[in-house]
Each structure stands twice: as structure tokens, then as C-alpha cells.
Structure 1
């Protein structure tokens, strides 16, 4: 993986992957399945677009989480549930594969969560490992 960027105004962390969208989605899915995380669903936006006779380059959303980790955040601020479970978007951008996810610290600021720093750092670390394969 190369080229990690964070857009402070959007709260998105974006990573450039070294593989195809399909291979990257498979790697992330396998990594999720090897952790205490639950893969809730995978949405293939390109396939859905094709079903509507529209064209969209490969674009897949993975939705996953761990209630033992996310629920305390919701107990602190119920509105964070709009952003949970976690999501990771994998898409083709010209000749590159990109991965994006919400920065947990941004979500904490957005929802007024100020007493969960250790938990948020743990989430950030897991998301980074999933995105980079590290």
C-alpha cells in the first residue's frame, strides 16, 4: 500500500492499494473474517448500476463492526449510530485502486464523543491495518 491521505474537512482517510478492486475487497474480507469483527454486508455498487443499465467502474462498500466496541460509542452519543457500523469503500480511480474509511477521531468530534480516546485509537488502528494490509 502507498499514498495515505486524510482529508480533514471530510474526515475520510484514503489509501492507494497495490492490487485490483476485486483482490483488495477479497483481502479485506478475509482480514475481517479473521478478527472479532462481523462483516454485515458487502455492496457491489457497480453490479447494482449494471442492473439499472448504468455504467460504474468497480466500486464496493464493505460494512462491518463489533458491537462490543461500537456500542459504548453509541452509549456516549446516540447519533454516532448513523456512522456505525464501520464502512470501507474500495473503488477504481483511473489506473489505481483506492480505499477510504471514516477517521474515528473525526466521528468522535462530529458526534461530541470526548471520553473514548483509547477505544477510538484502537478502532483507528484496526481500520488502518485493514486498509493497508499491515
Structure 2
């Protein structure tokens, strides 16, 4: 995918990637064995981690991206700078459709999404490229 511009410092990007990669270690995935870690960076400079949590009834599981955003939202954050998602496969996996919709609730189309593969290499995209023509809070009429 094309490399969109982003406003992260080298230090922020290094922290974001290392935290997402480390978060894979906390994944609970006894069924799929597919570890996913995520780290979301708030505009105020705080990092929130997430990992996938599976359930014997597959649809009940939760993805790493939604866990990371949920942790941040519960802590009172609504403004985000970037997310990193890390898997063990190559090429890197992108967020699923449900996560894309969930993340669009709190982000703009230019929001950067860094996807890391099992070797630590990343692909950079945006929410707008992952979820074009998205449905969000601005689509409600009151």
C-alpha cells in the first residue's frame, strides 16, 4: 500500500511498534494460535495495549485492535494519533472488517495504521484506505 504521511516522531513510532509486538505475548488464542498485538497512541502521548482474546465460541472473541481502543476509551481518551497492529505472519495482517468499523468511530480517514509482520517489518496505510466510504458518527441526523 502507498505510504501516507503521518505525524509521529521516530521515538513515538519505535514505542508504538515495540509495544504492539510485545502485546502479542499476552494474546489468548488457544484455538487459532494466531497471536495479534496492538498499541494505540493517544494525542496526549499515552499508549494503550491490546491483544486478541479468543473464546471456544469463535464469534465471542475480541480482536487486539478493539481491546486497545476500548482500554483507551475507558480511560477517558477519544483523540488518537496512530495504531500499530502486530502478527506473526508475513506479510502483515490488516485489521478485520469489524475492527475497521470500530476504529473509524474514533479516527479520521487520514489516521495512520501500521501493520507489522512476524519479522518486525511494517506496512503503513490509513483508515480511509482500509474502510472507504465508512459509516460513522457524522452520518446520524438528530
- TM-score normalised by the chain length of structure 1: 0.31
TM-score (norm 2): 0.30
> For the pair shown, which has the larger CA radius of gyration, 1 or 2?
1
In proportion to residue count, which structure has more helix? 1
Higher normalized contact order (CA 8 Å, seq sep 6+, divided by chain length): 1
Give the strand-richer structure, 1 or 2: 1
